[in-house]
């Protein structure tokens, strides 16, 4: 609550599967051992960048994973236990309910946990645009899925994620956000190719560290950095 009494700022809901099952489509590119570590790194970079966004008031992570819960709570996120075996949309509705149980007038935004290149200022631009509509969403980089869905104060979230969710969210009456210069908010990582695209944008420090540890990762990160010996852009603190 601001000093003038206004109840402002977005409450974010971030869903995260147990790490043992997360990012299954990445295992072909990264190997089974590395996949859960990367899934955790993506979530840490996503949540750290979200918490650094001036328009974000708080972040609730819906997860049953004990390690991820501990690490994300240490960043400042609230951990909401999942409803087991009900899937992503139930987890998101549950997270929004948990937020609004504490703050009934909350404006809620869901954000996927696989956005390792997320920039706080870009998330801010998306949220400013979303604030004009009762419900709004941002399509993923492939223009097929969704990375963010918002519901204004008093509006039901009604999430319809999974597969081609951009079309589903459009059909549900949510407004598509088309603001420019928000590539990092759309850059979800499901495959090895997506990971290379995120590294080229510049990922947060947790993902950068994992990429450097991976047998093939150092070459990828050096490639993204450009000049040999220069500090990779991925290792910089979050910038605009
Ligand atoms: N809490 C919770 N989060 C989920 C659930 N299913 C998916 N998610 C999260 O929702 C986002 C998008 O999920 P998916 O694309 O289905 O799963 P993923 O782990 O990212 O990738 P794949 O395993 O390759 O499908 C990610 O942040 C997931 O961790 C669920 O049942 N509960
Ligand atoms: C669940 C979704 O994401 P993903 O691309 O990770 O499957 C979605 O876009 O609705």
Give the mutation target among 114, 165, 174 for probing the ligand 2 site: most ligand atoms within 8 A of CB.
165
Any atom of ligand 1 within 6 Å of the Cβ of 114: yes
ipTM (interface pTM): 0.97
b/e burial code for range 180-197 (CB count within 10 A of at least 16 → b): eebebbbbbbbebebbeb
- Tell me if 164 CB under 6 Å of ligand 2: no
Q: Which is higher by pLDDT, 231 or 48?
A: 48
The residues, ordered by sequence, that sit 6+ positions from 157 with a Cβ below 8 Å of its Cβ are 92, 93, 96, 108, 110, 135, 149, 151
**Structure confidence by residue, pLDDT tens digits, 26-72:** 999 989 989 999 999 999 999 999 999 999 999 999 999 999 999 99
State which fold the 10-186 domain adopts.
Spore Coat Polysaccharide Biosynthesis Protein SpsA; Chain A (3.90.550)
Inform me whether the pLDDT recorded for 172 exceeds 90: yes
Residue extents of the structural domains in the chain? 10-186
Q: What are residue 100's phi and psi, to 5 degrees? A: -80, -15
Q: Cα–Cα distances in Å, from 167 out to 80, 140, 144, 161?
A: 29, 12, 7, 10
Phi first, then psi: give them for residue 198, nearest 5 degrees. -65, -40
Counting from 1 in the atom list of ligand 1, the atom nearest the Cα of 114 is 27
Instruction: Record the tokens describing residue 139, joined without a space.
Output: 């399509």
The sign of the torsion formed by the CA atoms of 173, 94, 75, 209 equals: negative
| Confidence bin at 212 (pLDDT 50/70/90) | confident
Residue 190 Cβ < 6 Å to ligand 2? yes
């Amino acid at each position: 609550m601001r000093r003038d009494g206004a109840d402002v700022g977005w409450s974010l809901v971030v869903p995260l599967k147990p790490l043992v099952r997360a990012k299954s489509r990445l295992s072909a590119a990264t190997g089974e051992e590395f996949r859960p570590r990367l899934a955790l790194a993506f979530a840490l970079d996503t949540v750290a960048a979200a918490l650094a966004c001036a328009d974000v008031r708080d972040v609730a992570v819906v997860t049953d994973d004990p390690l991820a819960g501990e690490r994300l709570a240490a960043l400042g996120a609230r951990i909401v236990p999942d409803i087991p075996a009900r899937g992503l949309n139930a987890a998101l509705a549950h997270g929004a309910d948990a937020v609004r149980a504490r703050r009934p007038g909350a404006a809620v935004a869901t954000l996927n946990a696989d956005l390792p290149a997320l920039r706080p200022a870009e998330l801010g631009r998306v949220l400013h645009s979303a604030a004009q509509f009762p419900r709004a969403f941002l399509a993923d980089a492939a223009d097929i899925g969704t990375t963010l869905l918002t519901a204004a104060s008093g509006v039901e979230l009604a999430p319809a994620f999974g597969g081609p969710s951009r079309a589903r969210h459009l059909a549900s009456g949510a407004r598509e956000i088309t603001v420019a210069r928000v590539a990092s908010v759309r850059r979800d990582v499901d495959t090895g190719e997506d990971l290379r695209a995120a590294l080229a944008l510049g990922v947060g420090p947790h993902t950068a560290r994992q990429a450097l540890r991976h047998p093939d990762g150092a070459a990828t990160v050096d490639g993204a950095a450009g000049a040999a010996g220069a500090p990779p852009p991925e290792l910089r603190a979050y910038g605009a």
